[in-house]
Chains A and B, each alone.
Chain A
Amino acid sequence: MLDAFLAGAHQVFAFDTLIYMLIGSIAGIVAAAIPGFTVTMAIILTLPLTFAMDPLQGVSVMLSVYVGGYTGGLISAALLGIPGTPSSVATTFDAFPMARGGEPGRALSLGVWASFFGTVISTVILIVAAPPLALIAVKLGPWEYFSLIVFALTIVASLVGNSLMRGLIAGVIGLGLATVGPDPMMGRPRLTFDSAILMPGLPFLIVLIGIFAISQLMGEVEDDGKSENKGALIPDVIEFKTWSVMREVLMHPVNLVRSSLIGVFIGALPGAGGSIANLLAYDQAKRSSKTPEEFGKGTADGVIASEAGNSATAGGGLIPMIALGIPGSAVDAILMAALMVHGISVGPRLIMDHPDLAYGMFVAMVVASLMMLVVCVLSMRLFLRVTDIPKQFIVPTVMICCVIGAFALNNRVSDLYLLGAIGLVGYGLKSLDYPLAPLVLGVILGPIAETNLRRALMSDGDWTVFFTRPISAVLLVAALLSVIFSVRSVLKMRKKDRPATDEQDGD
């Protein structure tokens, strides 16, 4: 283990890797500081740049974008009251009033330090939890794996978006898209309609870029008639009080650790990420506070809870990815895909077959959080200006970067046509309030689910084995329970809200 750790650290601490990571960290912060641009999109744009790198170098750069991105959303949340990413929604509750109350520097520094400690705590848990979990996971059979994927998809559908049914439909559409092209066991072409474009299947990354990035960019230029928020001006003089704020954050150890643990747990659940963790951590901090009435008025506890919660999902999301081969979120799915592009199969055997890579990723997480901290402390003022860049430059340019990413994957022009078509479908789904994360996870989990289902039935044709093997049965029951609880809570909400139901009640 120590050898692998040192080998991984040796690769991460190479000069060129550190430089690329630094650029990645800045890029993540800048991208997430722009309202409307998510961490997922930042990672998607980074992906083609990593093709020419070594696997660990590429993943380290993506991790630095990931960690930087979770912090970048804080900037516009605190200063403009607009969450830069969905992960920083709860940050606006207290960081914005604090900034408006004359302490913008304190609000930003609190967020940065809380993010840093949140990431470090989650990385420690990742290092401790992932290897033993992987040892257990290699003993799972195809029955358990199939049931695990069913569980993951139901959890994703019930946690993401406003409607369980639309979440489930999106997830199953994803599974369906994954069936187009050669079948994963025998290579027989399926549902291709003799089209040369569909013959190789729908590449996961093309679906991901189309569904998330193109649809998001199209949504960015919608004209809803509302004027933009020009009222919140960034003050000229901001005092960051870096070190005194660090002490202030450490003076709230219970809130910091609790919020980080919530972030790790939520991050480890497939599909649930920073967007849920920050709200949940904030809610728990408010419930446990002796002064809950101070929340929403600019209390430090609110900022710490939200930022530690969302940043801790970074490490949490890597736990199921490294230990089980099941990505915790869309961002983890892209990391997984990046490794697959390099020919590395991600799953429980990753730690055994490529220990230097797995431990290198742990080291990279720590280095990335340190870089984020240094970059933020030294140049936060510069990043504030990013929010001034007009959409006319950002939207078309990012679209071009998506096209490059889609093309560079296989050097195939037909992938670009797929990108356009999938982007339009994604935009349609987004307009109708279908959650997109379950769809993307469905596409990546589809072949794994099919292979395991077929393997399971090849060794024993009896379907009841899924229910008689204890771990498989527990996972299927958990999947059923997650659906039942989700339906129950929606029914409760409907009863309570009627007749004033709104879009949020969903199913």
Chain B
Amino acid sequence: MTNGTEKSAAAGASAPAASRARTEFARLVSYIVFGLGSVYLSVRAGELPTSRWEPLGAGSFPQLVFGVLAVLCLISAVRTVLDIRKLGQLDGLGEALCVWLRTRRISFALFGCLVIYLGVLPYAGFSLATFVFLLIAQLMIAGISKKTVIQSLIAALVFSVGLNLLFAEVFNVFLPRGVLFAS
């Protein structure tokens, strides 16, 4: 019994450590991406021609900023590697990534809808594109049932046509009319 309790206590203590190690690993990836990106941008900024009128040219400030960013990322990456080594339980990365993605599946689906919506907006016009986006997004979040379909249809109609009218008539802000409706 005691042995079992100790085991479960040890497992309980190791679970947060493993979770923390995985989070630190994800951050390490971000430091590496930002670090490499900043080195590249710093080099690109350094290629900009210098000015004859001032000691600092157009490229100096970006070079300085991305140089500092690279140094900060390097320090953070080194510290994170040390932390991960101390925690020492970097297992189940693939599984953790799957859980992470599963938790955020609606977020990414919503973002996918947003990207398609933004792509279609100039062609389909604000009212039509917004109506379809709102309808799909609302049903995606709430689930499909007779009640949610009716609610979503009404809300989509009100906010697509209503917002377009509000901005055009009250605030004189004209949203894209779309190729289909432009005449």
Binding site for B on A (CB under 8 A): 48-49, 51-52, 165-166, 168-169, 172-173, 175-176, 179, 183, 185-186, 188, 190-191, 214, 217-219, 221-225, 390-393, 395-397, 399-401, 403-404, 407-408, 411, 413, 416-417, 419-420, 423-424, 427-429, 431-434, 446, 449-450, 453-454, 457-458, 461, 501-503, 507
Return 24 A-B CB contacts under 8 Å, by A number.
A48-B167, A165-B79, A166-B27, A166-B76, A169-B31, A173-B34, A183-B58, A190-B45, A217-B110, A218-B110, A221-B107, A223-B105, A225-B103, A391-B141, A395-B141, A397-B159, A403-B121, A404-B163, A404-B175, A407-B176, A417-B118, A429-B30, A432-B26, A453-B56
Query: Would A186 and B155 count as touching, CB distance under 8 A?
Result: no
Binding site for A on B (CB under 8 A): 16, 20, 23, 26-27, 30-31, 34, 38, 41, 44-45, 48, 51, 53-56, 58-62, 65-66, 68-69, 72-73, 75-76, 79, 103-108, 110-111, 114-115, 117-118, 121-122, 130, 133-134, 137-139, 141-142, 148, 151-152, 155, 159-160, 163, 167, 171-176
Complex formed: what's the CA distance from A376 to B4 in Å? 57
A416 to chain B, nearest CB (A): 5
Chain B residues with CB under 8 Å of A423's CB are: 111, 114
Chain B residues with CB under 8 Å of A190's CB are: 45, 48, 58-59, 62
B86 to chain A, nearest CB (A): 9
For A458, give its contact among B26, B27, B54, B176 (CB under 8 Å). B54
Query: Would A502 and B176 count as touching, CB distance under 8 A?
Result: no
Chain A residues with CB under 8 Å of B137's CB are: 392, 395-396, 399
Chain B residues with CB under 8 Å of A173's CB are: 34, 69
Query: Would B62 and A424 count as touching, CB distance under 8 A?
Result: no
Chain A residues with CB under 8 Å of B60's CB are: 454
Besides A188-B58, A397-B134, 6 other CB < 8 A contacts? A48-B167, A52-B172, A172-B69, A413-B176, A501-B20, A507-B79
> Is chain B's binding surface mostly helix, strand, loop or mixed?
helix
Of all chain B residues, the one with the shortest Cβ separation from A193 is B44
Complex formed: what's the CA distance from A429 to B55 in Å? 35
Chain A residues with CB under 8 Å of B167's CB are: 48, 404, 408
Query: Would B58 and A186 count as touching, CB distance under 8 A?
Result: yes
Chain A residues with CB under 8 Å of B45's CB are: 179, 190-191
Query: Would A427 and B26 count as touching, CB distance under 8 A?
Result: no
Query: Would B79 and A400 count as touching, CB distance under 8 A?
Result: no
Query: Would B133 and A396 count as touching, CB distance under 8 A?
Result: yes
Query: Would A450 and B61 count as touching, CB distance under 8 A?
Result: yes
Complex formed: what's the CA distance from A36 to B8 in Å? 35
For A179, give its contact among B31, B62, B107, B172 (CB under 8 Å). B62
Complex formed: what's the CA distance from A162 to B68 in Å? 21
The 6 closest A-B pairs by CB, nearest first: A396-B137, A392-B142, A179-B62, A183-B58, A218-B107, A392-B141
Query: Would B121 and A169 count as touching, CB distance under 8 A?
Result: no
Known: A222-B106, A403-B118, A408-B173. A392 touches B138 (CB 8 A): yes
Chain B residues with CB under 8 Å of A458's CB are: 53-55
Chain B residues with CB under 8 Å of A390's CB are: 142
Of all chain A residues, the one with the shortest Cβ separation from B172 is A52
Chain B residues with CB under 8 Å of A223's CB are: 103-106
Query: Would B72 and A169 count as touching, CB distance under 8 A?
Result: yes
Complex formed: what's the CA distance from A400 to B159 in Å? 9
Query: Would B134 and A176 count as touching, CB distance under 8 A?
Result: no
Chain B residues with CB under 8 Å of A507's CB are: 76, 79
Query: Would A175 and B118 count as touching, CB distance under 8 A?
Result: no
B49 to chain A, nearest CB (A): 8
A359 to chain B, nearest CB (A): 27
A332 to chain B, nearest CB (A): 23
For B111, give its contact among A166, A427, A503 (CB under 8 Å). A427
Complex formed: what's the CA distance from A427 to B51 in Å? 38
Query: Would B41 and A52 count as touching, CB distance under 8 A?
Result: no
Of all chain A residues, the one with the shortest Cβ separation from B56 is A454
For B141, give its contact among A51, A221, A401, A453 (CB under 8 Å). A221
Query: Would A396 and B20 count as touching, CB distance under 8 A?
Result: no
Known: A191-B44, A420-B114, A454-B54. A502 touches B65 (CB 8 A): no
Chain B residues with CB under 8 Å of A502's CB are: 16, 20
B109 to chain A, nearest CB (A): 9
Complex formed: what's the CA distance from A407 to B175 in Å? 8
Query: Would A52 and B171 count as touching, CB distance under 8 A?
Result: yes
Complex formed: what's the CA distance from A423 to B107 in Å? 12
Complex formed: what's the CA distance from A406 to B130 in Å? 15
Chain A residues with CB under 8 Å of B34's CB are: 169, 173
Complex formed: what's the CA distance from A417 to B108 in Å? 16
Chain A residues with CB under 8 Å of B174's CB are: 411
For A400, give its contact among B41, B130, B171 (CB under 8 Å). B130
Query: Would A396 and B138 count as touching, CB distance under 8 A?
Result: yes
Known: A179-B65, A396-B141, A454-B61. A48 touches B55 (CB 8 A): no
Complex formed: what's the CA distance from A419 to B75 in Å? 31
Q: Which of B31, B111, B117 has the most CB of A within 10 A?
A: B111
Query: Would B118 and A48 count as touching, CB distance under 8 A?
Result: no
Complex formed: what's the CA distance from A176 to B122 in Å? 30
For B23, give its contact among A165, A188, A407, A503 (CB under 8 Å). A503
Query: Would A169 and B73 count as touching, CB distance under 8 A?
Result: yes
Chain B residues with CB under 8 Å of A395's CB are: 110, 137, 141
Chain A residues with CB under 8 Å of B38's CB are: 176
Of all chain B residues, the one with the shortest Cβ separation from A416 is B118
Chain A residues with CB under 8 Å of B160's CB are: 400
Known: A400-B163, A420-B115. A179 touches B61 (CB 8 A): yes
Complex formed: what's the CA distance from A57 to B45 in Å? 41
Query: Would B171 and A461 count as touching, CB distance under 8 A?
Result: no
Complex formed: what's the CA distance from A428 to B152 in Å? 29
Known: A179-B62, A432-B27. A397 touches B55 (CB 8 A): no
Chain B residues with CB under 8 Å of A449's CB are: 61
Complex formed: what's the CA distance from A175 to B65 in Å? 7
Chain B residues with CB under 8 Å of A191's CB are: 41, 44-45, 62
